[in-house]
Amino acid sequence: MATEEAHCQQIWLMTEHSFRFTHAITRRPPRSAVHGLRAEDVGNPDVNRMTEHHDAYVEALGHAGVEVVVLDALEEFPDSLFVEDTALCLREGAVVLRPGAPTRFRESLAMEPHLRDLYSDVRVLSGPGFIEGGDILTSDSEILVGKSARTNSEGIHELRDAVAGWGYALREVTTPPGVLHFKSDCSLLDGTTILSTPRLSSSGCFEDYTVIDVAEGEEPAANSIRVNDVVFMPRGFPVTTGRVRDAGFDVVELDNSECQKIDGGLSCLSLRFSPS
């Protein structure tokens, strides 16, 4: 890499580390995804369509400049395509989490060796708390963790201990009642801008950020992801997509209808990171 290019990459890794990524890990959807956990039954996902959407997602990550590891499907774990819940990946190292859903607990153990391939420092939470990656939002200045039905105070405390020494402030916040994960309702658009549902932003947890609210009736659009220069948003939420574009972001819309049937958003489908 040319010296100047390397220098620029170094600078953005230092200042925009919450949305500048060199690597991602994804896992292919299993046929068993029809048994995926869900709060409300709106019909089973079509796994063939889900796989097509997943292929497009991986391709979009590649176009955004990310090197993508695509892991084989794990049939014994219907929700294992939602790799985000298994780990927290920071520049300094990765933390293997403890999913609060009993059927998902062992997914994080299956992720551990793949993290060790890419990181020299991998820390494994030993419990007894629970914490899922969908409840963790990392900005340039802090790690926010939403307490939820899947993430408890003990889990948050254990994560705080695990990342102590890496220089992050960690703040415990609350996921709205009835919402699966904190990030079901919000996403980071840049180091200081958050896309959020009004029910979450009205709690005041983003008072140090610029907030763009999702439109009423378009709540699933809150789970979007900033990847390098673009924002991936789920297709079908035109008012919110328009708001994000009007704010100056370059939006890539992706189909996510099948994952949505089992409460999965775009963020859940990858671990994104730049190991230092």
Residue nearer to ligand CIR on the CB measure, 167 or 222? 222
Taking CB under 6 A as the rule, which mask of x and - marks residues 93-112 in contact with ligand CIR?
--------x--x--------
Q: Is residue 114 involved in binding ligand CIR (CB under 6 A)?
A: no
Query: What is the Cα 127 distance to its own chain's centre?
Result: 22
Does 261 bind ligand CIR (CB under 6 A)? Our answer is no
30 touches ligand CIR by CB under 6 A: no
218's CB contacts (< 8 A; 6+ apart) are 237, 239, 240
* 181, 186, 205, 259: the active-site residue: 181
Is the Cβ of residue 28 or residue 247 nearer to ligand CIR in the bound state? Answer: 28
Q: Does the footprint of ligand CIR cover residue 265 (CB under 6 A)?
A: yes
Rg (CA), the chain: 17
Question: Applying CB under 6 A, does 82 fall inside the site for ligand CIR?
Answer: yes
Task: Single out the segment in contact with ligand CIR by CB under 6 A; choices: 4-12, 47-55, 56-64, 258-266.
Answer: 258-266
Site string for ligand CIR, 170-189 (x = CB under 6 A): ----------xx--x-----
Smallest separation, CB 85 to ligand CIR (Å): 5
Site string for ligand CIR, 115-134 (x = CB under 6 A): ------------------xx
Q: How far is the CB of 33 from ligand CIR (least distance, A)?
A: 9
Binding residues for ligand CIR restricted to 188-247, rule: CB under 6 A: none
Short-list 238, 237, 235, CA closest to 252: 235
| 3-state helix/strand/coil string of the chain | CCHHHHHHHHHHHHHCCCCCCCEEEEECCCHHHHHCCCCCCCCCCCHHHHHHHHHHHHHHHHHCCCEEEEECCCCCCCCCCCHHHHEEECCCCEEECECCCHHHCCHHHHHHHHHHHHCCCEEECCCCCCECHHHEEECCCEEEEEECCCCCHHHHHHHHHHHCCCCCEEEEEECCCCCCCHHHCEEEEECCEEEECHHHHCCCCCCCCEEEECCCCCHHHHCCEEECCEEEEECCCHHHHHHHHHCCCCEEEECCHHHHCCCCCCHHHCEEECCC
Only segment of 3-11, 18-26, 40-48, 263-271 that touches ligand CIR (CB under 6 A): 263-271
Q: Which is nearer to ligand CIR, 178 or 248 (CB)?
A: 178
> Is 186 designated active site?
no
Q: Is residue 181 among the annotated active site residues? A: yes
Contact between 268 and ligand CIR per CB under 6 A: yes
Question: Catalytic positions, please?
Answer: 181, 268
Binding site for ligand CIR (CB under 6 A): 36-38, 79, 82, 84-85, 101, 104, 133-134, 180-181, 184, 262-265, 267-268
